[in-house]
Amino acid sequence: MKFVFEKRKTQLKRLLFLIPFISFVGSLFLSGLLLLAFKTNPLMVYGAMFKGAFGNWFNFQETLVKAIPLMLAGCGVIIAFRMRFWNIGAEGQLVMGGIFAAWVSLFLIDFIPPWLVLPAAFTAALIGGGLWAGIPAILKAKLGVDETLTSLMLNYVAIIFCQYLYNVVWIDPNGYGFPGSKIFDKAAWLPRLTGRVHLGLIFALIIALVLWFMLKKTKWGFELKIIGESPMTAKYLGINIPKNIIIALFISGGISGIAGMGEVTGIAHRLTHGLDMGYGFTAIIIAWMSQLNPIAAIFVSILMSVLLVGGDQVQRTMGLPSAIGLLLQGMILFPLLAGALFSEYRVKSIKSIGEAVK
């Protein structure tokens, strides 16, 4: 028996669902090998992680809290990736959204009625993230500059600008030198549903649904798909590619920006460190794993959050580095990318008839 790859004549739909699942299992297996190499029982680690994420009501809430920015940034990345626009700047867009929301909560708040503060922060975060994604979009649309590099580098500009703000410019004068702005006025606190789970969860769910509907059912979603699948065809069909790139990327960055607003106004209630936790990068894995489907991204985000929270828990209970969660996340990508092969090719077994030559 021998196995060979053969190109498929059709694409299998059910594989699209199977591959992410298999990839996750594969990641558990690969990471397990690594853990074994460090003389740790992987099953115990996974058990501890699971318990850490779901073990009690408090832990489960924490899992949801971390899933919120992941869902939002994941949805943001999905729009861009649908057009084959490789926006890997969700991290920076999230941070910019946080900065803009903080500006409203710290300064604009004095000039507007209290009920308007949160809507204003929401809008500002959308604009902040959107503009930050708009830079690589305009550079790409007008000058053909590669978006991978520009969006990646802008992450660091946003992160360091944010540090500059909370360490120097907006630092709380009564904060004993602790890096961070002053605590926002209550009017700028995003309401909480339960525990630390804030209203951002509802935003995320609504945005995912709206996005799914938009991509699947509207003319504009159809145009984005054509641009992504074949830009030449889109041009031939009279679709305005530069305009669509810019609009889509503004929305993409804007949604990531709302994730930043959730962190700032829903959790920390001040601008401080902790915005650049890597949610924007994990969002890339989420986008791939959910096969660019916003609804799937909700569930994948929770899964990724389990890994994050579980990783923290493992650190506490087993004395292992919390990076195990990140390791598992990264490990998912390998089988996932390999899985793409199987959706295009099939494996055929060869019962050797006659004599194989050489």
What does the binding site for another protein look like in residue numbers (CB under 8 A)?
Answer: 2, 4, 6, 8-11, 217-222, 225-226, 229-230, 232-240, 348, 350, 352-358
Least spacing, CB of residue 199 vs another protein, in Å: 28
Q: How far is the CB of 222 from another protein (least distance, A)?
A: 6
Q: CB 213 → another protein: shortest distance, Å?
A: 9
φ and ψ at residue 192, rounded to 5 degrees? -105, 145
| Start-to-end CA span in the chain (Å) | 15
Question: Rounded distance, CA 42 to CA 300, Å?
Answer: 22
- Specify the residue, 4 or 43, whose C-beta has the smaller distance to another protein: 4
- Minimum gap (Å) between residue 148 Cβ and another protein: 21
Residue 11 DSSP code: -
Indicate the residue among 218 and 317 with the shorter CB distance to another protein.
218
For 227, the token pair is 């641009």
Q: Which is nearer to another protein, 179 or 231 (CB)?
A: 231
Q: Which is nearer to another protein, 112 or 237 (CB)?
A: 237
Distance of closest approach, residue 8 Cβ to another protein, in angstroms: 8
109 vs 227 by CB, closer to another protein: 227
DSSP 68-82: HHHHHHHHHHHHHHH
Check residue 109 and report its DSSP letter: G
Query: Half-sphere exposure (CA, 13 Å, Cβ side) for 48?
Result: 19
175, with CB counted inside 10 A (0-12, 13-18, 19+), is: middle
